[in-house]
Structure 1
Amino acid sequence: MRFSLFGIAGVFSVCLLSTPVFANSAGLTGHSGKNGQTCNNCHTGGIAPSVEFSGPESLAAGATGQYSLIIRGGAAKMGGVNIAVDNAQAMLVQGTGLKRVGGELTHSAPKAFSENEVRFDFSLVAPPTAGTVNLFGAGNSTNGDGDITKDRSATAGLTVTVTGSAAGPDAGTGSPDAGTGDEPGDEDEPGGGCSSTGGAPVLLFVLAAAGATLLRRG
């Protein structure tokens, strides 16, 4: 029985040690660079990619614009993102492969590179009055090995000028699901980033099975 107990303790120790590596494969917010935090707070090593926003630099008040955050280079196997804005009246709308958490966007799963780049598409609904909206984005380029080393992120920003004012209460769309390929349930999910590791459910299953085997042997 002593061997079994020690074996189970070892299994759960490995599980706990592995959790930080795998926990954020479905994305993390608060690391867009808006407040100084980026994916490099967790991911270390690797070659920094280039990251840029693509989309209009001017929108009419209440209008919806189509944007992309593009990651090029780095480890260039899998990519993840976190996107935020500094205007509470503007709204980010998730595209395919993204989800909205607490008003920010992050990847719902790591996305594979194609020809040395990966692109995350989204929409921005401009506020109803003139002003500016600053976009903040962090893009993480990883080697896809399930670890947080040998990966690297970089940040990008874009200032969108908002002109005029919305004509009425229905101007400018603003539906959280407009122009996306994701289900409504993907909006404002709890938790959230930048990690593009994966495999936690499979790992936990294997470790649990190993623990059960040790118990039977005891």
Structure 2
Amino acid sequence: MEPEEAIHIEATLLPAYVSRTLSKEEQQQMEEHLKTCPICPRELQEIIAMQAILKTAVHQRPGPSPDAFSKVMSRIHQDIQHTPRERHPQTTPSLWERIEQTFRSLFEVRWAPALASFLIVGQAVLLLSVLGGPETMKNGPIRERGIPQGTPVIPIFHIQVEFVGTAQEGRLRGLVQELGGTIIDGPTPEGLYTLRFEQRDSRSPASILTTLQTQPDLIKSAKSLQP
């Protein structure tokens, strides 16, 4: 699987992003992420399409005939009227009220919203199970979600760069991907971009920074950002 096709942790937050149950800060972070990620926009469209299908199925589901409930309740009325019973002071709902409430619940379509929620949550769990390991974002609130307890967190570091204006975009992205990085922010008004890297044995901050600084035809400047 190519690096740009890899599933990452932000994809598991897309259902909550669509339903707008994230905090305001998390919602804004996801909006910024969607501007640069080539994968999450496709996942987002699939979730929106699934919700549309569920809503259509709920509205098209045929319900009971209009007089079905009234016929059932009429029959129950008749049975109760012909059944002798002692009268006692009642502090709880009467038998008739309990029966009526029970039958009313049978004629209400309550399963559809629950099914929709179950499918959305199920998709998020499935995405998380495919990841095979945690990934983190720049800010804490989203980073803390979806990381299994006891799983070591891979250190993350960021480097701010200014690309050469005449450099081809394809070469720039190829260099960043070759180093295992991702563009997560930019450009700023000054033309600066922020790159995100995972710190592994062969990807120390110093080695990545040195590699970027030795590409004068692509990189105008590069500096490490403090966490």
Larger relative contact order, structure 1 or 2 (CA cutoff 8 Å, min sep 6): 1
Same fold (TM over 0.5): no
User: Which protein is bigger by CA-based radius of gyration?
Assistant: 2
TM range (shorter): under 0.3
